[in-house]
Amino acid sequence: MVRGMATEASTTPATARVVWRRYLAKPTQEQIVLLVTLALIIGFSVALPGFATVANLLNLAKSVSILGILGLGMAIVVIARGLDLSQVAIMAVSLGIALTLMTNGVSTPVALLAVLVLALAIGAINGLIIAFIEVPALFATLATTFVAFGLGRLVLRTLFIYAPPTATGLFFIGQGRILGIPTPIVIFAAAALIVHWMLSRTSLGRFLYAHGDNPEAARLTGVAVRPLAVIQYMLSALLAWVAGIVFTGSTASMNLQIIYSTAIFDTILVVVLGGVSLIGGRGGVLSIIAGTALIGTLLNGFTIMDVNSEVQNIIKGVVLLAAILLDNRLHPRDDETARQGD
């Protein structure tokens, strides 16, 4: 033990080299993804004129901010070994209702807070079904998606809902700039910092990782797993609401059609790509930033190169497959603690 402490305490060049070699020998997925992103950025900067400008890079970041915020919410749930397929539905339905309220004269902050309550309620329902009725997260959140969509269509009647011109605060969030940086990027950065603080510095974060790593052990050591489930899905819903505000701010509308588009799979792509393993217990905010950066760079490059949309979808699919395979190799499924629906 003394020798071990001595080795840690001393920083001889030999020890440092050993530490470095161990570090580089098994790179984490975030590092791999960040390296690939860097390679792509360098490649595109050389091949595509106009890519490596501040304006374009800000555009790139702005276009994936919403995906990033949703990814943060999904990461919280996936780290705890869950899955939230209802995020996009919560985002679309709650903001659709908010826009309708605003058009009918309700003030913007009141409308947004009212639908925050709705979003949190749906998140809580998700958590309650998964924790108490013990339905696997995949099926529970899928069901909630359909229910939310149906309710949304019933209440809203149309698929496209438009913001009234008076919602200037909303437009600032979507289209404005703070200190020269587009507001969506600022909001993504702020959300990332808060989630990072929560995951790494609070006991809630520790419990999420514990539950993701080994749910049974977490339960046996006294972690309140059921309230934990409810809280994590409510947090995911909260971030979906934030993403929705940025969405409606930038497009001045909400489109219920996105619930049945590939948006939710793009979110899972960002999460898995960045290194938040689907078996839970690892990854963090850096993973989301890495995944979002890679997807954003790819999409931006494709748009500048005017690549056919079907080819874009194929490449996104291949990237997702590669990420899952890499995830499988680096973090094999722990059969002792795996559950149905994993």
Partner 1 sequence: MTRASNLRMGWGMLAAVAAAGLIAAPMAARAADEPQISKSERELRSSYDKDIKGKTIAWVPIALGAPITDIWTAVMQEEAEARGMKFLLRDPNWDATAELQAVSALISEKPDILVVHNPSLTLLAKELKRAEEAGIHVIQMNMESNYLSDGFVGADWGQIGRMMGEETIKACGSGTKTSHKVQIVQGELTAAGNVNTVAGLMQALDKDKEIKVVSSQAANWDPKKALDITATVIQQHPDLCASIGIWGVMETGASQAIKNAGKLEQVKIITNGEGSAFDCQQLKEGMYTKYLSYHSDRQAHDVIDEASVLLQGKMKPGTVHVALYTVPEWLDKASADKPGACFELPNLKKPETAAKQ
Residues within the interface to partner 1 (CB under 8 A): 50, 55-56, 59-60, 62-63, 153, 157-160, 162, 175, 247, 250-253, 255-258, 260-261, 299-300, 303-304, 306, 308-310
What is the distance between the alpha carbons of residues 196 and 284, in angstroms, rounded to a whole number? 7
Distances (CA, A) of 327 to 33, 132, 320, 337: 12, 30, 10, 17
Q: How far is the CB of 148 from partner 1 (least distance, A)?
A: 14
What is the distance between the alpha carbons of residues 120 and 123, in angstroms, rounded to a whole number? 5
Residue 232 or 248 with smaller CB distance to partner 1: 248
Residue 60 or 112 with smaller CB distance to partner 1: 60
Residue 249 or 280 with smaller CB distance to partner 1: 249
Q: How far is the CB of 222 from partner 1 (least distance, A)?
A: 45
Residues for the chain: how many in total? 342
Residue 138 or 304 with smaller CB distance to partner 1: 304
Q: How far is the CB of 35 from partner 1 (least distance, A)?
A: 24
Cα dihedral angle (148, 208, 294, 306), rounded to 10 degrees?
Answer: 0
Residue 61 or 199 with smaller CB distance to partner 1: 61
What is the distance between the alpha carbons of residues 322 and 326, in angstroms, rounded to a whole number? 6
Q: Which residues pair with 160 in a beta bridge?
A: 255
Task: Name 152's Cβ contacts closer than 8 Å, sequence gap at least 6.
Answer: 89, 92, 93, 96, 97, 256, 259
Q: How far is the CB of 310 from partner 1 (least distance, A)?
A: 6
Q: How far is the CB of 309 from partner 1 (least distance, A)?
A: 4
